[in-house]
Structure 1
Amino acid sequence: MTTPRDLLFVTMDVESSRTVERGNLSLALAGAELIDLLEAQAVSLDGDRIVPGYRPAVADRLMDEAASSLDQQPPYESVDDWLWRRGRGLSTAYLTAFETEGQLTRQPRNRWIPFRSGGELTLADSPARRAAAARWTAGEPVLAALATALRLRDERPEEPADVADEAVETVLATVADAVNELEFERQRRAIDDEAFSNIWRGPGG
């Protein structure tokens, strides 16, 4: 399986007091795709610029789309720009793929899932789901860092995940920054909406 798929399994499976917003998840999934492309040597980083490498054969349709969408011309795309462009609607695309493949089913709610799915989605028991759970339980650094960016854990780990590859570290740091930026923008809009609502109601509500 791929890192974005494992991340989606973990996001829907892990008990958490927080709900994961689709926008946050989309950014993290885009980062996970880029990390897998780095590990496949399909891309490299020149500073924060994504430089295409050789084009590997990719069985996963969404990962193939990711590889196909790379900017092929200098000065190339920054990691941050990639996250925002590629991440647009990406969580929905992965959920649709899961549902098409039978990894995900719609049925009456029988447990709370920390993800705003827009429907009652339940993960099917599958080898892919169990493999993702094993990777999570083992504390694999990349998956752990992505989960931290999404605040899946109620408490942040005392030590950041130990990722040896500098390029992967750059992607993970950019994902965390992008998620924080989106959260800040979401909070700012909520404050603006509340202020407008108070003005509209006028004195005394």
Structure 2
Amino acid sequence: MTTPRDLLIVAMDGESGRPADRGSLSLALAGAEVIDLLGVRAVALDGDRVVPGDPPSPDDPLLRAAASSLVRQEPYESVEEWLWRRGRDLSSAYLTAFETEGQLTRQRRRLMSFRASDVALVDSPARRGAVDRWESHEPVLVALATAAGLYGEPFDEAAEGSPDTPDIADDAVATVLAAVNDAVMELEAVRQRRSIEDAAFDNVWRGL
């Protein structure tokens, strides 16, 4: 299993405290892909730039697709640029893969809400492996789940039931996690700004 797959399982398992937001989760999944690609030396970071390498192709088809979509011309793209480009609807892609592979049972038509009444994970070695990784408080998985808002605000150590924010020793991994956290907060800021603008627009119409 890969880190993105483990993260999706954690998000869907319903024990992390709250439903996953699809946008935040997609950004975290894109970050998880970079981290796994770093682990197999398919990429390296030059500052915050994602520099492709030339290792064997990853076994996982989604991770292989991620590797094939890397920008291979200088100045390459930043981690932030990767998150927004690769992360677009990425949670949908992983859900589709899970369903195709028989890892989900669909209980209603709305596949994307992540609520237990809509879809459920089947019991599988992949699920048990992700749960074991989660219950051991593996630092990268915990950091990604926290950044995705599964415990409230990104990296909110005071959130009830949240594990302590993990200490990440690898500088490249820490750079990716920081970029994920920043992107999630930017996404939330955009949503709040749009909500305020929509409310102001509604108030104008009420006053006419």
TM-score (norm 1): 0.90
What residue is the counterpart of 1:150 in the other structure? 148
**Amino acid across the alignment from 1:124:** V
| Alpha-carbon displacement from aligned partner over 1:54-94 (angstroms, at most 9, x marks no partner) | 23222211100000011111111100000000001110000
Whole-angstrom distance in 2 between the partners of 1:55 and 1:190: 45
Whole-angstrom distance in 2 between the partners of 1:60 and 1:31: 16
Q: Does 1:122 align with 2:120?
A: yes
What residue is the counterpart of 1:112 in the other structure? none
What residue is the counterpart of 1:50 in the other structure? 50
- Which region of structure 1 is more displaced relative to structure 2, 117-126 or 140-149? 117-126
What residue is the counterpart of 2:107 in the other structure? 107
What RMSD over aligned residues (CA atoms) do the two structures have, in Å?
2.0
Q: 1:50 to 1:154 in 2, by over 3 A?
A: closer
SS in structure 2 at match of 1:50: strand
Runs of 4+ in 1 over 6 A off after TM superposition: none
Q: Does 1:36 align with 2:36?
A: yes
**Amino acid across the alignment from 2:12:** M
What residue is the counterpart of 1:184 in the other structure? 189
Whole-angstrom distance in 2 between the partners of 1:189 and 1:58: 39
| Alpha-carbon displacement from aligned partner over 1:111-151 (angstroms, at most 9, x marks no partner) | xxxx7249811111111011000000000000000011012
Q: Does 1:170 align with 2:175?
A: yes
- Which region of structure 1 is more displaced relative to structure 2, 77-86 or 185-194? 185-194
Please, which runs of 5 or more residues in structure 1 have no aligned partner? Answer: 110-114
Q: 1:77 to 1:153 in 2, by over 3 A?
A: same
Q: 1:108 to 1:49 in 2, by over 3 A?
A: closer
What residue is the counterpart of 2:129 in the other structure? 131
What residue is the counterpart of 1:96 in the other structure? 96
Q: Is contact 2:9–2:130 with CA below 8 Å preserved after alignment?
A: yes
SS in structure 1 at match of 2:73: coil
- Which region of structure 1 is more displaced relative to structure 2, 140-149 or 13-22? 13-22
Q: Highest relative contact order (Cα 8 Å, sep 6+), 1 or 2?
A: 1
**Quick one: percent identity of the two aligned structures?**
64
Task: Give how far 1:43 is off.
Answer: 0.6
Whole-angstrom distance in 1 between the partners of 2:70 and 2:196: 37
**Amino acid across the alignment from 1:179:** V
Whole-angstrom distance in 1 between the partners of 2:192 and 2:130: 32
Q: 1:187 to 1:164 in 2, by over 3 A?
A: same
TM-score (norm 2): 0.89
Counting matched residue pairs gives: 198
Q: Is contact 2:40–2:55 with CA below 8 Å preserved after alignment?
A: no
| Alpha-carbon displacement from aligned partner over 1:24-58 (angstroms, at most 9, x marks no partner) | 11100000000000011111000000111123222
Whole-angstrom distance in 1 between the partners of 2:181 and 2:89: 18
Please, which runs of 5 or more residues in structure 2 have no aligned partner? Answer: 159-163
Whole-angstrom distance in 1 between the partners of 2:124 and 2:178: 31
